[in-house]
Amino acid sequence: MSIPQELLGRLREIITEEQDLISDPAQLRTFECDGLAHYRVTPMLVVLPTTVAQVSAVVRVCQELKIPFVARGNGTGLSAGALPVKEGVLIALSKFRKIHEIDRANQRAVVEPGVINLDITKWATPAGLYYAPDPSSQQICSIGGNVAENSGGAHCLKYGFTTHHITGLEVVTPDGEIVKFGGYKSLDAPGYDLLGAFIGSEGTIGIATKVVTRLLRKPELVKTLLAGFNSTSEAGEVVSAIIASGILPAAIEMMDELAIEAAEKTVQCGYPEGANTVLIVELDGPAVDVTQGITKVQSICASLGAIEVRIAKTEAERALIWKGRKSAFAAIGTISPDFIIQDGVIPRTVLPEVLGEIAKLAAASGIRVANVFHAGDGNLHPLVLFDESIEGDLERANIVSGAIIDLCIKYGGSITGEHGVGADKVSYMGKMFNEYDLDTMQLVRCAFDGENLCNPGKVFPTPRLCGEVPGRHSGIHPLVQSGLAELY
């Protein structure tokens, strides 16, 4: 690919370290995909800035020359959200790894976007604090990517998603301006909730260069229960029964037979022998509440068909239970050469019905589906298994994967819970939202990025032309059309 000499020259003035401006075709391929590896695009250039001023300057050059740009963290995303643009610049933030502050008094951490999720907790532990959102990839994923995708994790049932734990951001906007969103260390700021708009925007309205997170106090007691069942339907009924009892666990995770098989091959986690499905239920908080709660959960599991119920007696036992769950995605590689990790949400009350429908899809197509997911809040992560070397297998897997997302919509859920839309699910946005919904969302994007240069091609199936006059655009809802037209 021919690189515009003006672009290359101006970027070399900003990124002075030769190794931090990459144009070699072989090296560029390192950045061609995120964790969803069947989407691949080689970028024109990659820059690795080390300061906020450099990020701002690079974005300004791209804006002036009308060059698209994409921000990238550790590349662990699963929706092709950090997929490069062929004729664009990839801004890799992997050198932004500084933890600026652990503020014990205010229970805040101030970190750079390249900091690993789990490292925040490691640094906060001596102060008796921790960072709650815990994606399965928390040992390798970066906090900037978590902000972009509004990542969740096993403990989001009780503690919420990334958006509930970010109080402030420093952001480089698509025109290169450096701004602050949110209340920073305080809980809120007056005016529009720009912080809320940015979290989960998937890199389409700016680049986070500093993140202020809430930190929580370590709970007095944590108890983890492992229960085995003969079917996912039985386990699904137990999930609803636990919540209906008034107990709010920190986490309820479910794994089916295929997921258990893969986990046992990888880490020998000792899950109940012969179980078709396991539930991991964790309670934390004041000791008296946790002790009473775990006993009640144990009773519910036993009364609704559990073949074995086990409460971890030591921290080592608890860690082993979680090791199997946290390793599940990677472990699937032991039972299938290829797989698609899907991400959708349903009301937890319909778990048995939806899991039954997924089983029917698998049987009819001949494509196996392993289920491992956040059962407590209905965030499904079905893994669709296939072998790309078998003719037609990938096509069948894609059909099953899409049908699962259709099921989520049918049962009143969402096309994504934490992985984002990215480039992978743009075709499903029109199934979940009508044209007026989509157009209104894109008006927000256009307010930040009028040239559509910041991570283009993501989230929206047909990007709105920002130059169009709102009110004359057919996609604007009639109820707001006249009001918008008066602004122009």
Q: Which amino acid is at 5?
A: Q
pLDDT tens-digit map of 70-94: 999 999 999 999 999 999 999 999 9
pLDDT tens-digit map of 289-326: 999 999 999 999 999 999 999 999 999 999 999 999 99
Q: Angle between the 393-410 and 351-365 helix axes, to the nearest 10 degrees?
A: 160
Same domain, yes or no, for 103 and 200? yes
pLDDT tens-digit map of 50-63: 999 999 999 999 99
Same domain, yes or no, for 196 and 264? no
User: What is the per-residue pLDDT for 484?
Assistant: 45
User: What is the per-residue pLDDT for 465?
Assistant: 64
Contact 166, 195 (CB under 8 A): yes
Confidence of residue 188 (pLDDT cuts 50, 70, 90): confident
Give the max Cα distance, the chain. Answer: 71
Q: Tokens 């096309």: give the residue.
A: 415
Q: What is the mean pLDDT of residues 263-272?
A: 94
Residue 463 has pLDDT above 80, yes or no: no
From the list 219, 218, 250, the residue with the least C-alpha distance to 127 is 218
Contact 445, 205 (CB under 8 A): yes
Q: For the domain that residue 257 is a member of, what is the CATH number?
A: 3.30.70.2190
Same domain, yes or no, for 88 and 104? no
- Within a domain: 346: no
- Within a domain: 49: yes
Q: Give 316's contacts (C-beta < 8 A, 6+ positions apart).
A: none
Same domain, yes or no, for 104 and 210? yes
Same domain, yes or no, for 106 and 208? yes
Main-chain phi, psi angles of 347, to 5 degrees = -60, 135
pLDDT tens-digit map of 146-172: 999 999 999 999 999 999 999 999 999
- Within a domain: 120: yes
- Within a domain: 331: no
- Within a domain: 394: no
> Which DSSP letter does residue 164 get?
G
Q: Collapsing DSSP states into helix, strand and coil, what is residue 449?
A: coil
Residue 125 has pLDDT above 90, yes or no: yes
What percent of the chain clears pLDDT 70, i.e. is strictly above it?
95
Main-chain phi, psi angles of 168, to 5 degrees = -165, 155
Q: For the domain that residue 42 is a member of, what is the CATH number?
A: 3.30.43.10
Residue 26 has pLDDT above 50, yes or no: yes
Residue 49 has pLDDT above 60, yes or no: yes
Residue 22 has pLDDT above 70, yes or no: yes
Q: What is the mean pLDDT of residues 371-391?
A: 95
- Provide the β-strand partners of residue 103: 108
Same domain, yes or no, for 248 and 276? yes
Q: What is the mean pLDDT of residues 403-422?
A: 96
Residue 470 has pLDDT above 80, yes or no: no
User: What is the per-residue pLDDT for 189?
Assistant: 83
- Within a domain: 396: no
Higher pLDDT, 464 or 281: 281
User: What is the per-residue pLDDT for 487?
Assistant: 41
Long-range contacts formed by 358-366: CB under 8 A, 24+ apart: 358/382, 358/404, 358/407, 359/232, 361/400, 361/403, 361/404, 362/400, 365/396, 365/399, 365/400, 366/396
User: What is the per-residue pLDDT for 477?
Assistant: 52
Residue 483 has pLDDT above 80, yes or no: no
Same domain, yes or no, for 213 and 105? yes
Higher pLDDT, 122 or 330: 122
User: What is the per-residue pLDDT for 333?
Assistant: 93
Burial of 363 (0-12, 13-18, 19+ CB in 10 A): exposed
Please state, in angstroms and rounded to a whole number, the distance separating the CA atoms of residues 428 and 464.
17
User: What is the per-residue pLDDT for 40?
Assistant: 96
Please state, in angstroms and rounded to a whole number, the distance separating the CA atoms of residues 390 and 397.
11
Same domain, yes or no, for 105 and 211? yes
Q: Out of 289, 323, 357, pick the residue that ends a domain.
A: 323
Q: For the domain that residue 148 is a member of, what is the CATH number?
A: 3.30.465.10
Q: Give 232's contacts (C-beta < 8 A, 6+ positions apart).
A: 254, 256, 276, 277, 351, 352, 355, 356, 359, 371
Average predicted confidence (pLDDT) for the chain: 93
Contact 213, 166 (CB under 8 A): yes
Interstrand relation of 251-256 and 369-374 (parallel, antiparallel or unpaired): antiparallel
Same domain, yes or no, for 186 and 252? no
Q: Out of 308, 323, 338, pick the residue that ends a domain.
A: 323
Residue 475 has pLDDT above 80, yes or no: no
Q: Give 295's contacts (C-beta < 8 A, 6+ positions apart).
A: none
- Within a domain: 355: no
User: What is the per-residue pLDDT for 486?
Assistant: 47
Please state, in angstroms and rounded to a whole number, the distance separating the CA atoms of residues 23 and 15.
13
Q: Out of 217, 240, 270, pick the residue that ends a domain.
A: 217
Residue 488 has pLDDT above 50, yes or no: no
Q: What is the mean pLDDT of residues 346-370?
A: 95
How many domains does the structure of the chain reveal? 4
pLDDT tens-digit map of 193-228: 999 999 999 999 999 999 999 999 999 999 999 999
From the list 116, 154, 114, 149, the residue with the least C-alpha distance to 133 is 154
Residue 274 has pLDDT above 70, yes or no: yes
Residue 140 has pLDDT above 90, yes or no: yes
Q: Which amino acid is at 276?
A: N
CA distances from 291 to 224, 244, 389 (A): 11, 18, 51
Q: Is residue 458 within a helix (H) or strand (E), and if so which, with residue range?
A: none
Same domain, yes or no, for 121 and 74? no
Q: How many CA atoms lie within 13 A of 179 on its CB side?
A: 14
Tokens of 58: 């690079």
Same domain, yes or no, for 115 and 42? no
Q: What is the mean pLDDT of residues 97-104?
A: 98
Please state, in angstroms and rounded to a whole number, the distance separating the CA atoms of residues 465 and 472.
12
Same domain, yes or no, for 132 and 43? no
Main-chain phi, psi angles of 191, to 5 degrees = 95, -170
User: What is the per-residue pLDDT for 187?
Assistant: 82
Q: Which domain holds residue 454?
A: 433-483
Q: Tokens 């000499």: give the residue.
A: 5
Please state, in angstroms and rounded to a whole number, the distance separating the CA atoms of residues 392 and 383.
18
- Within a domain: 391: no
Q: What is the mean pLDDT of residues 27-40?
A: 94
Lowest mean pLDDT among 161-170, 174-183, 477-486: 477-486
Q: Give 480's contacts (C-beta < 8 A, 6+ positions apart).
A: 440
